Amino acid sequence: MSTESEAYVLRQDEAGVATLTLNRPGQYNALSSAMIGALADALKAVAEDRAIRVVVLAAAGKAFCAGHDLKEMRANPSKAFQQALFSRCGKLMTSLLALPQPVIARVHGIATAAGCQLVSMCDLAVAADTARFAVSGINVGLFCSTPAVGLSRNVGRKRAFEMLVTGDFIDAAAASQAGLINRAVPADALDQEIARLAQSICAKSPHAIAIGKRLFYRQLEMGIEAAYQVAGETMACNMMAEDAAEGIDAFIAKRPPVWQGR
């Protein structure tokens, strides 16, 4: 059994916030098969933990995540291995959207290729102002096709395509302006800003957050009429929940609400 220092992903819980830390600093937290499996398991455990309200995805060492493990990929050149790897990675990425809790990426150093994809698939992202981002597979003859899925759903088409065909880095300020991250802050204020954002979310109804997150991603892929139909049904169901009654009653009575949970 691995010790904590050997674990690919470390977990620390505090005040309703679970921090999952990618723990392969020597490999720049590359998304190897083992890392993908460990992070998938950690996210599954968090999803089932009703005490957790927010998830922070962090990383140890000098970088957030440098993408896939290219050495592992070259050591296993069969198409079957590559298909299985990208299938597992795709399921990991979509599991972030399916998680009932909001996920905040805590980004420092570099986030490249699938590491940039990981940032794009988190619900929220706050970065140190020294962080840099790239989808740099094109530099080794590999178009970042899977990172393009998340990137193009966060960043405008022309900016996303330019990043994909040049492999060039953008800094945290540009990433914020483009919509890849929520904001960039000084490195020494990163944890404080993450905590502020997490606490703001924790103060809200967990039931409303969970159904709202599910609705948010579902309606994005719909036409406008279908989106309004599913949003209206979600609102109606939300109004039937104990938390909605409690929240409205508390507002009218000018008192803090007491949430029941998701």
Residues 194 and 212 in one domain: no
Q: String of b and e for 4-23 (b: at least 16 CB within 10 Å)? A: eeeebbbbeeeebbbbbbbb
Residues 104 and 42 in one domain: yes
What is the model's pLDDT at position 153? 95
Residues 17 and 104 in one domain: yes
Q: What percent of the chain has pLDDT over 90?
A: 93
Residues 173 and 248 in one domain: no
Is the pLDDT at 49 greater than 90? The verdict is: yes
The mean per-residue pLDDT over the stretch 89-96 comes to 97
The average confidence (pLDDT) of the chain is: 95
Residues 172 and 213 in one domain: no
What band does 3 get if pLDDT is binned at 50, 70 and 90? Answer: very low
Residues 39 and 118 in one domain: yes
What is the model's pLDDT at position 26? 96
Radius of gyration of the chain (CA): 19
Is the pLDDT at 85 greater than 80? The verdict is: yes
Range of the domain at 115: 4-202
From the DSSP assignment, how many helices (H) and strands (E) are in the chain?
11, 9
What is the model's pLDDT at position 5? 57
What is the model's pLDDT at position 1? 37
The mean per-residue pLDDT over the stretch 112-116 comes to 97
Give me the torsion for CA of 51, 56, 57, 61, rounded to 10°.
Answer: -120
Query: What is the Cα–Cα distance from 127 to 119, expressed in whole angstroms?
Result: 10
- Residue 80 sits in a domain of what CATH number? 3.90.226.10
Cβ distance 23 to 56 under 8 Å?
A: no
Residues 148 and 243 in one domain: no
Is the pLDDT at 42 greater than 90? The verdict is: yes
